[in-house]
Structure 1
Amino acid sequence: MTPADLSLTVLRAVRRAVDENALRAPVPARVRVERTRPGGRGDYASAVALQLAGPAALTAREVAEILRERMAGAPGIGRVEITGPGFLNFTLDASADVRGLLHRVREQGLRYGHGDALAGEATALRHAPEVRAAVTAHTVGALARAQGAHVDVLCDGAADPEWARLGIPADAPGRPTAPVTEIRPVPAGATAGELLDRLGPDASRWGLLRPAGHDRAPLGGELLVQGEANPLFLVRYAHARTHALTRGATLLGITSAPGEEPAGPTPAPRTRALLTLLADHPAVLLAAARHRAPDRLARHLEAVAQAFFDFHDAASPLPVGDEKPSAAHRSRLALAEAAGTVLAGGLSLLGISAPLYL
């Protein structure tokens, strides 16, 4: 269950309570849920009961009790608790959560996390005739289109022919027909040709997009280092490693199968960390589009890659030593493959290749 799924579940409980006349309050357009802070109860929390208490002429705890009754046993939710003045705390059903998440990633593939949250929105992204601005504008356009928006990208001056080698298509001609947003990151301090000669297209794009737009982009030889200290290498190596696991599993006659094991009733911390990041991927893509911040996606991919290696080291998806293939290995392999899919999909939106071998 993703945060968006949980938000809809809580919203349905509010509507049901209002329809049953147990709660006399306006139904909000959306319900906000957040991850609990360290030391808190459950996986997620919501303050919706505090929001509804005044209009309902009830205490927040009374509203929370009404909503808890209507969420008990909801698919994907293991437990609902009330804390403090009336916060609702949710512990997810780990096994259902894992199966549902991995099935969604498998079914949607590289489009996992794409959606229609920005459907109906139209914007024109205008950038200076400078390589970092051009790469950023076109990447923001790709992120927004993946959420259903209509986007044109316009350049203030003549485009550099070398931009095509960075995968930048021609900008939309003519005057904008939608509200204009200026894309003005700190300039790269080098031309596209100079970056391509030194770094190639993938390292150039990562170096331009990974820092926040208001920060200077480090564009040195560290982007080409073949080691885990280089975030770009870490992300692409993690992706390649997931495919190596699938190839190894095929040789052993093992196929991936999403099941209860890699989480079980109480997921191991490293497993849960990876699952959490995969579940957060749709929200990260939407936030990166809304805030015009591709660096958010790049940092998220780094976190997924590191969490994958932590998970892999703690619980190998392939048999080790005298181990025999088991359901546990099939489940772990499914989680590893989901991580690879998320990494490949994220890199694609950044315009960066995801090699199968490194």
Structure 2
Amino acid sequence: MTPADLSATVLHAVRRAVDEHALRAPVPARVRVERTRPGGRGDYASAVALQLAGPAALTAREVAEILRERVAGAPGIGRVEITGPGFLNFTLDATADAAAHRALMSRVREQGLRYGHGDALAGDLLQFSHPREVRAAVTAHAVSGLTRAQGARVAVTCDEAPDPDWARLGIAADAGGPPPAPRAEIRPVPAGATAGELLDRLGPDATRWGLLRPAGHDRAPLGDDLLVQGEDNALFLVRYAHARVHALTRGAALLEFTGALGQDPDDIPGAEALALLALLADHPAVLAAAARHRAPDRLARHLEAVAHAFLAFHDAASPLPVGDEKPSAAHRSRLALTEAAGTVLAGGLSLLGISAPQHL
């Protein structure tokens, strides 16, 4: 169960309590859950009962008791406790979580680079237009890919003759003409340089990342730091994490084992693994939101988060045996999670039109 799943489960309990007239209070738009702090109980905690106590004219502990009755026994939840003035504390069902993790790994493995593609915009006919400016062209191209990945039919047109250098960024004119749809303008803050100038200095990958990573209403920083090989460069971090995944897969092959999530929930323990799993589970929703809002920067930020989470997981629990260790079920499970992260990174970079090298 991811934090988003737990939040939805508690929110459903609030709605049930209100519908059953056990609680007279407005249903919040969302319920916040957070990791239990050191010394606390369970895996997650929520202060929703304190939030609802005033409107319900009850004490927070009374509200917490009402909600506990409706959350206890829900799939994925092992135990619900009340602490302090009315905090709800949740201990997750490790067995159910392991099953969910196996299902997630299977989906990523089966769908590959298309994991997260969907039909959120199926049937939509979209036509994007943009000025003869490199950031607008790159953004329109990325938005086109994101919306197509959600099932839309899309055409992109430029207000003037395209810049020939755009071809070096992978941007080609649409074939077959635009669909019969109203035009939507893609007009981010201009880059302040031509495609040729940026390509000569940064190359295609750094140019695309530099233009797409900031939100469209923000200026795009396009300095030479986009070429620095260090963790302060988000593009390098994302591509390094992807390359590291492939290095681990090659290392496992030399040791004659492959990634496979086992039955034991302790095979991928720790907060780092759960954080990475939550981000992988969120990937389809991120792609759908980036498509709906015409915001490739959302995908770029998500890839950064996945890269950070993968590297933290890798440092906490190596997917490869260390020293005299022999490959175990735990190593196979960690490698499966590692490879799932690599798939998400590669698929996301592909949608942004950026290469995902296996060696750096």
Q: Which of 235, 239, 246 pairs up with 1:236?
A: 239
Amino acid at match of 1:237: Y
Q: Residue by residue, what CA displacement relative to the aligned partner does 1:115-173 show, whole Å, maximum 9, x if unpaired?
A: 12222333222211111001101111211221222322222222112111111121467
SS at match of 1:261: helix
* Distance across 2 between alignment mates of 1:16 and 1:156: 53
Q: Which of 245, 249, 256 pairs up with 1:246?
A: 249
Amino acid at match of 2:266: E
SS at match of 1:100: helix
Q: Which of 159, 170, 174 pairs up with 2:173?
A: 170
Amino acid at match of 2:359: Y
The alpha-carbon deviation at position 237 of structure 1 amounts to 1.0
* Distance across 2 between alignment mates of 1:254 and 1:318: 10
* Distance across 2 between alignment mates of 1:104 and 1:2: 16
Contact preservation (8 Å) 1:46, 1:89: no
* Distance across 2 between alignment mates of 1:146 and 1:65: 44
Contact preservation (8 Å) 1:257, 1:331: yes
Q: Which of 182, 186, 200 pairs up with 1:183?
A: 186
Amino acid at match of 1:132: R
**Amino-acid identity (%):** 76
Amino acid at match of 1:221: D
**Does the C-alpha gap of structure 1 residues 176 and 119 become closer, same or farther in structure 2, counting only changes over 3 Å?**
closer
Contact preservation (8 Å) 1:261, 1:331: no
The alpha-carbon deviation at position 243 of structure 1 amounts to 0.7
Query: 1:119 and 2:122 equivalent?
Result: yes
Residue in structure 2 matched with residue 315 of structure 1 by the alignment: 317
Q: Which of 154, 158, 162 pairs up with 1:155?
A: 158
**Does the C-alpha gap of structure 1 residues 121 and 93 become closer, same or farther in structure 2, counting only changes over 3 Å?**
farther
The alpha-carbon deviation at position 179 of structure 1 amounts to 3.2
Query: 1:261 and 2:282 equivalent?
Result: no
Residue in structure 1 matched with residue 280 of structure 2 by the alignment: 278
SS at match of 2:128: strand
* Distance across 1 between alignment mates of 2:119 and 2:46: 25
The alpha-carbon deviation at position 221 of structure 1 amounts to 1.6
Map residues 22-33 of structure 1 onto 2, 5 A cutoff. Answer: none
Amino acid at match of 1:278: L
Amino acid at match of 1:338: A
The alpha-carbon deviation at position 319 of structure 1 amounts to 0.8
Q: Which of 325, 344, 347 pairs up with 1:345?
A: 347
SS at match of 1:123: strand
**Does the C-alpha gap of structure 1 residues 92 and 130 become closer, same or farther in structure 2, counting only changes over 3 Å?**
farther
The alpha-carbon deviation at position 174 of structure 1 amounts to 5.7
Contact preservation (8 Å) 1:153, 1:172: no
Map residues 20-99 of structure 1 onto 2, 5 A cutoff. Answer: 35-36=33-34, 43=44, 73-79=73-79, 92-94=92-94, 95-96=97-98, 97-99=100-102
Amino acid at match of 1:340: G
The alpha-carbon deviation at position 278 of structure 1 amounts to 1.4
**Does the C-alpha gap of structure 1 residues 277 and 137 become closer, same or farther in structure 2, counting only changes over 3 Å?**
same
Name structure 1 gaps, 5 residues minimum: 55-59
* Distance across 2 between alignment mates of 1:132 and 1:216: 10
* Distance across 2 between alignment mates of 1:82 and 1:148: 45
* Distance across 2 between alignment mates of 1:143 and 1:86: 43
Residue in structure 2 matched with residue 143 of structure 1 by the alignment: 146
Larger deviation: 8-17 or 156-165? 8-17
Amino acid at match of 2:102: R
* Distance across 2 between alignment mates of 1:198 and 1:188: 14
Superposition RMSD in Å: 3.9
* Distance across 1 between alignment mates of 2:197 and 2:213: 19
Residue in structure 1 matched with residue 326 of structure 2 by the alignment: 324
Query: 1:100 and 2:70 equivalent?
Result: no
- TM-score calculated relative to the size of structure 2: 0.79
The alpha-carbon deviation at position 307 of structure 1 amounts to 1.5
Residue in structure 2 matched with residue 194 of structure 1 by the alignment: 197
* Distance across 1 between alignment mates of 2:169 and 2:160: 18
Larger deviation: 174-183 or 36-45? 36-45
Contact preservation (8 Å) 1:274, 1:304: yes
Larger deviation: 137-146 or 345-354? 137-146
Contact preservation (8 Å) 1:98, 1:263: no
* Distance across 1 between alignment mates of 2:181 and 2:47: 36
The alpha-carbon deviation at position 353 of structure 1 amounts to 0.7
Amino acid at match of 1:353: S
Larger deviation: 163-172 or 80-89? 80-89
Q: Residue by residue, what CA displacement relative to the aligned partner does 1:276-322 show, whole Å, maximum 9, x if unpaired?
A: 22122122112211221111111111111111111111111101112
* Distance across 1 between alignment mates of 2:125 and 2:86: 40
The runs of at least 4 consecutive aligned structure 1 residues that moved more than 6 Å come to: 3-17, 44-47, 60-71, 81-90
**Does the C-alpha gap of structure 1 residues 127 and 90 become closer, same or farther in structure 2, counting only changes over 3 Å?**
farther
- TM-score calculated relative to the size of structure 1: 0.80
The alpha-carbon deviation at position 68 of structure 1 amounts to 7.0
The alpha-carbon deviation at position 261 of structure 1 amounts to 3.3
SS at match of 1:134: helix
The alpha-carbon deviation at position 74 of structure 1 amounts to 5.0
Residue in structure 1 matched with residue 112 of structure 2 by the alignment: 109
Contact preservation (8 Å) 1:46, 1:88: yes
Q: Which of 201, 219, 223 pairs up with 1:220?
A: 223
